[in-house]
Amino acid sequence: MLRSSARGNSAIPDEYKKITKNLFPADENAVKGPGSKAALEFANALGIGTDYRRFLEINKESEKEMDELLENFRNNLDLLIQKTWVEKTDEVRKDKLQDDVPGFVTGIKQGTYQKALEEFGIILEELAYLFFGAQSTRDDFTEYTFRIDNQMGLFWWYGSQIGNLKEMYKKSEINDESLWAVLLLGICYLTNF
């Protein structure tokens, strides 16, 4: 899982701190899991608000629209992975990542969001490594990505935070609807990357 550190949270520019705090509240007394308003605000900050809202409102029975979204996600992610230049020693990682994506998509289609969350964390970790190399494993990775671009920094900060939801789910402090809202943020972002 991408590293979640206090340093990563301190790297967030002031204009995004409220949005990030609302998405993943740190206060133990806060409502667990992101609310739909917080997720939509975060999607807007990522520049994917319109698509996010449209796909969040997809009726679960609308298989065609869901299939289209997930197919576009899979195709774009596959393209990103293929176009990433890596050292020969990292080709195996690249191939494994491509092999992991269909299982994640299947999990989403089946509604097994907890399993999909775990798989998505691995996908994001490997994708970050392919894009940024060893820098992605350092404590200052979030700060580094914010220096490149604020929306990119927000996305990789998000990637470092989703692992925290696993424990919340196990304790029944977050439901499938909230997990879907969080997963959809990453799906929409990578579909439009």
Query: Which pLDDT belongs to residue 57?
Result: 81
Query: Which pLDDT belongs to residue 31?
Result: 46
Percent of the residues in the chain that have a pLDDT greater than 70, as a whole number: 85
Q: What CA–CA distances, in Å, run from 25 to 28, 59, 80, 128, 188?
A: 8, 28, 31, 24, 22
Banded pLDDT at 29 (limits 50, 70, 90): very low
Query: Which pLDDT belongs to residue 30?
Result: 47
> Which positions ≥6 away from 14 have C-beta within 8 Å?
none
Q: How far apart are alpha carbons 148 and 115 in whole angstroms? A: 31
Banded pLDDT at 91 (limits 50, 70, 90): confident
Q: Which two tokens stand for residue 158?
A: 């998000």
The residue extents of the domains of the chain are 6-20+34-191
pLDDT of residue 98 exceeding 60, the answer is yes
Q: How far apart are alpha carbons 61 and 50 in whole angstroms? A: 21
pLDDT for 146-168, tens place per residue?
A: 999 999 999 999 999 887 776 66
Of the given ranges (50-54, 74-78, 168-172), which has the lowest mean pLDDT?
A: 168-172
Pair 119, 104: CB distance under 8 Å: yes
